Homo-oligomer: A and B are copies of this chain.
Amino acid sequence: MRVRDVRFPTSRTLDGSDAMNPDPDYSAAYVTLVTDGGTEGHGFAFTIGRGNDVCVAAIESLRSYVVGSDLDGLDLGEFSRRLTHDSQLRWLGPEKGVMHLAAAALINAAWDLAARRAGLPVWRLLSGFSPQQLVDFVDWRYLTDALTPAAAVDLLTDAFPGRGTRTAQIAAEGYPAYTTSAGWLGYDDAKVTRLAREAVDGGFDMIKLKVGADLADDLRRFRAARTAVGPGIHIAVDANQRWDVPDAIDWMRELAPLDPYWIEEPTSPDDILGHAAIRAGLRTAGPSGGPIRVATGEHVHNRVMFKQLLQADAIDVVQIDACRVAGVNENLAILLLAAAYGKPVCPHAGGVGLCEVVQHLSFFDYVAVSGELSGRRIEFVDHLHEHFVDPVSIVKGRYAAPTRPGFSAEIHPEALSRFAYPSGAEWA
């Protein structure tokens, strides 16, 4: 196991700027699993700069659970539980924050390794498991009041017969995307207008804008974007946790005439009841008296929180993140919960490599879990892909199906070296 602190100086151009994160340096606590056979597994925790070193330390604290594992006997369900259930390390969460980001990096690296050994992209590897095998990958603790393993097997069994058809279809057509690249808070109106037009010209039917710092600015930028793309294109807005509950409702009522497709992260990601209150407060606030959707998830720290967001009917859109919860296994739990509650999953992406990794989960979800594309899109943000060995490919507003073995998580060695923090050429 090798761990690296890698940081990209994105704050220099305000890429990624929003109401809570004015100057992120997109970073990865990057882990490589090295094996006797030569195959490697790659994974990472995504951070926005300071604290990336704390994630590196957290990954190191899990070393004894990783190094020396016998690959041939490796059960990825057991491996995942091993990393999240050390009784002493669990005290630091449980199952949240830095330790959970560390577990995610390692669990995803193990899946990358398993998929490379199988010669398949992760989404195809996952799509080949039986319903019972998939259910056995999940840690069911704390979930059974909402979904039992048996009910999950039933759900997956119902979806089983269509897997072949859907695999062929999604491999040919790709998965719908939307783009956030037009709407960072640090961009001026002219840049937003230009990028919004380019997005629509490129085939996207949905874009997203950052809001929440200043209402007058938000109205002006939203109007500019709406004028640029016209009424037929979805425009979601994202407040990045900026508001208290009453503020979120008031602010969104002001933006409502511009037809926001959803409001993302209106308040604290911990506030399940707050999201439910906001959703209720916006139920008839849309321009034709319809609802404004509520979305969250990129900072929702584990399956227990997603469970409650669904139980409380607090959100309309489930935004999984490939690296926030404990990797593939916990995201599998969340995909199953979302399917059981009939809510669409629109993954959070961007950052460093989040598009690359999370696309596999959405392709798999369509093939083997929800079987649905309606209302589903993967976020796309157009930066840092050039550093990846198997970067995403966007064709006419859709993610093309990954074809290379693994999880598309590997960063080029030259980039790992150049952006190493603090010793790499970019930082030295």
Contacts and interface: CB of A to CB of B under 8 A. Distances in A.
Interface string A36-63: 0000000000011111011101100100
A141 B247 CA distance: 11
Nearest to A46: B91
A22 interface: yes
Contact of A61 (B21, B53, B88, B92): B53
A341 B189 CA distance: 46
A304 interface: yes
Given A54-B61, A145-B245, A273-B308, A22 B89 contact: no
A98 to B, nearest CB: 4
A272 interface: yes
A90 interface: yes
A372 interface: no
A49 B61 CA distance: 11
A203 interface: no
A45 to B, nearest CB: 9
Interface stretch (A156-164, A262-270, A379-387): A262-270
Nearest to A59: B54
B96 A301 contact: yes
Task: State the number of copies, please.
Answer: 2
Interface residues of A, number: 60
Contacts of A244: 141-145
Contacts of A142: 244-245, 267-268, 270-271, 274
A20 B141 CA distance: 13
Interface in A136-153: 141-145
A272 B98 CA distance: 22
Contacts of A95: 270
Contacts of A273: 272, 308, 311-312
A277 B302 CA distance: 20
B58 A94 contact: no
A86 B244 CA distance: 19
A22 B86 CA distance: 10
A87 interface: yes
A305 B98 contact: no
The CB with the most chain B CB atoms within 10 A, among A25, A53, A87, A304, is that of: A87
B145 A87 contact: no
B100 A145 contact: no
A88 B308 contact: no
Given A141-B244, A145-B244, A246-B145, A271 B304 contact: yes
A139 B269 CA distance: 16
A99 B98 contact: yes
A97 interface: yes
The CB with the most chain B CB atoms within 10 A, among A25, A94, A246, is that of: A94
Interface in A115-171: 141-145
A49 B88 contact: yes
Nearest to A49: B88
Contacts of A51: 58, 61, 88-89, 91-92, 99
Contacts of A299: 94
26 contacts: A20-B87, A21-B87, A21-B90, A21-B91, A22-B87, A23-B87, A24-B88, A47-B91, A49-B88, A50-B89, A51-B89, A51-B91, A54-B99, A55-B92, A92-B101, A93-B96, A94-B268, A94-B269, A95-B270, A96-B97, A98-B99, A141-B244, A142-B271, A143-B244, A144-B245, A145-B244
Going nearest first, the 4 A-B pairs with the smallest beta carbon separation are A97-B97, A145-B245, A98-B98, A50-B88
